[in-house]
Amino acid sequence: MTTPSPAALDAYWMPFTANRQFKKAPRLFTKASGMHFWTDDGRQVLDGVAGLWCVNAGHARPKIVQAIAEQAAELDYAPPFQMAHPKAFELAHKVAELAPAGMNKVFFTNSGSESVDTALKMALAYHRVRGEGQRTRLIGRERGYHGVNFGGISVGGMVANRKMFGTMLGGVDHIRHTHDPARNAFSVGQPAHGADLADDLERLIALHDASTIAAVIVEPVAGSTGVLIPPVGYLKKLRQICDQHGILLIFDEVITGFGRTGSPFGAQTFGVTPDLITCAKGLTNGCVPMGAVIAKQSIYDTFMQGPEHLIEFFHGYTYSAHPLACAAGLATIETYQEEGLLTRAAELEGYFAEALHSLKGLPNVIDIRNIGLVGGIELASRPGAPTQRAFDVFLDCYQSGVLIRTTGDTIALSPPLIIERQQIDQIVGTIATALKRVA
């Protein structure tokens, strides 16, 4: 495939991209397989970020490719309102089997952003149905990322994602983030210090009164803000506080779902069961857009009241449980299970951690964070040029045949779960060389 024409390059307004910089020297992928992409000029690039945290089983997996092709020929679309198709129920059952015990109802969306907005609406509606309609307040966390729809950016806490878009949803507040480099820099796995940061929720409860709060939403691992690992005991303490005050706890597992932390879901890795889980990305291995909200049986049962012919929850999407997405999801989960990928991150975690932390002491590395097969390498910002140093490392690695991701001045890694040890070495070695070159 040739490079797009100037007119074609000009037509596409790219998401989360420095458009002018990119279009002067486009970085284009034209093929992918296994652990690698190929560029338009034929170079092989090792994928260190699973596409965008989503291609957990590696690229172009035959079972998934075949399932999508066969589904497109058999049933390309089925209306999801008052109608359905068999694979929607099959996939919901498979997802529920992987989820924490008691979380067995699955509502399908088309992305992580839609999953978050769906979960927030579920929480508000749940309290209204059970007679506590005054519980309308939503609590997010500073530096949180919950997608880019209005609900998600309202409960989210990344300033650049919020500052352009007005007042957003009303009745939203935020607890403190857990980034504490003074106490936890270069922690291997979960930081030892910071469970007490969960007590900040008690401050907001005292300010707003628990009777007004519907839900708290957090990422078990805050990914897009720079890979912030929860301190030991932090998530359990949040669960206890929510239980004490009748507040729903939502885990945003769009990144941590489907094996990233060494268990099917981060909730299982950290031993904390929320009331709702949002997921997407790894659900279909990134092949067809799809997301989901997984709910406890008790939440679903609360809605199943009144006359049976009436709609219980006025929410959904034209493409909810799209047949191609369901086919991809079923084949993806089958691939995960056949190859043991949902727990493989736990097997490689020690090796991955040791490799990452070998970068300590290299120029401008001020922190390294890891859990499962996700890692963050935080760099000192250049004076007057925040994000530039990390972006220069990104470009250097790309030219050297490794794809990484940067957020601010943090390098984020989340390779496909099929990665081998020598490929971990290649990623870390390439980053080490780049760090020295762009110092």
* Residues facing 172 on adjacent strands: 138
Side chain identity at 250, as an amino acid letter?
I
Total-model pTM: 0.97
Pairing of strands 291-296, 103-109: antiparallel
Examine the pLDDT at 256 and tell me if it is beyond 60: yes
The pLDDT assigned to 366 comes to 98
Examine the pLDDT at 1 and tell me if it is beyond 70: no
Q: In the chain, what is the straight-line distance between the N-terminal and C-terminal CA atoms, in Å?
A: 36
What confidence tens digit (pLDDT) does each residue in 397-418 have? 999 999 999 999 999 999 999 9
What confidence tens digit (pLDDT) does each residue in 240-250 have? 999 999 999 99
The pLDDT assigned to 33 comes to 98
What confidence tens digit (pLDDT) does each residue in 291-333 have? 999 999 999 999 999 999 999 999 999 999 999 999 999 999 9
| Domains of the chain by residue range | 6-56+341-437, 65-339
Q: What is the CA radius of gyration of the chain?
A: 22
Mean pLDDT to the nearest integer, 38-55: 97
DSSP letter for each residue of 392-412: HHHHHHHHTTEE-EEETTEEE
Q: Which CATH architecture has domain 6-56+341-437?
A: Alpha-Beta Complex (3.90)
Query: What is the fold, at CATH topology level, of the domain defined by 65-339?
Result: Aspartate Aminotransferase; domain 2 (3.40.640)
The span from the CA of 318 to the CA of 238, in Å, is 35
The pLDDT assigned to 209 comes to 98
The pLDDT assigned to 398 comes to 98
Mean pLDDT to the nearest integer, 421-430: 98
Mean pLDDT to the nearest integer, 381-392: 96
- 3 to 27, 39, 45, 121, 403: CA distances (angstroms): 10, 10, 18, 43, 20
User: Which single residue is written with the structure tokens 């009436």?
Assistant: 310
What confidence tens digit (pLDDT) does each residue in 163-211 have? 999 999 999 999 999 999 999 999 999 999 999 999 999 999 999 999 9
Mean pLDDT to the nearest integer, 122-126: 98
What rounded mean pLDDT belongs to the chain? 97
The pLDDT assigned to 219 comes to 98
With cut-offs at 50, 70 and 90, classify the pLDDT of residue 3: confident
With cut-offs at 50, 70 and 90, classify the pLDDT of residue 251: very high
